């Protein structure tokens, strides 16, 4: 009930969630998610496997860890981190439980990219990412893919 009253208050004062969250953090989240989507898109377009033998995870990308990341996704993401200072800074500051590099997230992004986009009128799409923290300080990020199909934006 409290959440509903809070929503009504925001609606009456014309304040959206995006104005309540630090705009700089939203920009960082969008940049980070977009980078992950671009790595996945590159691997998919070139028909390359994303995952390796499964013995390694995102922890292998930490500077303290000497293990090599397993799979092309993690290796390409590690390479991207080494070349993109802004992305590396974002990666080092995000919570480790919100890296969005798991196999489940990879599969979800692939299914979004491949589902209706293949049947769209125009072979282009837009990826939007937005995030916010809930009252328990858990990061919630939503990813939206927009494309045109039969003259309508989906």
* pLDDT one-digit tens code per residue, 119-144: 677 767 777 777 777 788 777 777 77
> Does position 145 have pLDDT exceeding 60, yes or no?
yes
Q: Which of 23-32, 80-89, 110-119 has the highest mean pLDDT?
A: 80-89
| pLDDT score of 99 | 83
Strand (E) or helix (H) holding 145: strand 139-146
- The fraction of the chain above a pLDDT of 90, given in percent, is 13
| pLDDT score of 126 | 77
| pLDDT score of 87 | 92
pLDDT tens per residue across span 35-90? 998 998 888 878 788 877 655 555 545 555 556 667 888 889 999 999 999 999 99
């Amino acid at each position: 009930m409290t959440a509903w009253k809070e929503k009504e208050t925001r609606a009456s004062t014309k304040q959206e969630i995006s104005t309540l969250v630090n705009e700089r953090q939203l920009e960082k989240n969008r940049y980070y998610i977009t980078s992950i989507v671009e790595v996945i898109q590159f691997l998919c377009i070139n028909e390359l496997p994303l995952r390796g033998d499964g013995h390694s995870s995102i922890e292998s990308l930490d500077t303290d860890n000497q293990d090599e990341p397993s799979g092309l996704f993690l290796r390409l993401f590690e390479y991207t981190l080494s070349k993109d200072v802004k992305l590396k800074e974002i990666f080092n500051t995000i919570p480790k439980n919100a890296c969005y590099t798991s196999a489940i997230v990879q599969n979800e992004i692939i299914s979004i990219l491949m589902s209706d986009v293949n049947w769209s009128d125009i072979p282009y799409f837009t990826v939007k990412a937005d995030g916010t923290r809930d009252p328990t300080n858990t990061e919630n990020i939503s990813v939206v893919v927009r494309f045109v199909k039969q003259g309508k934006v989906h």
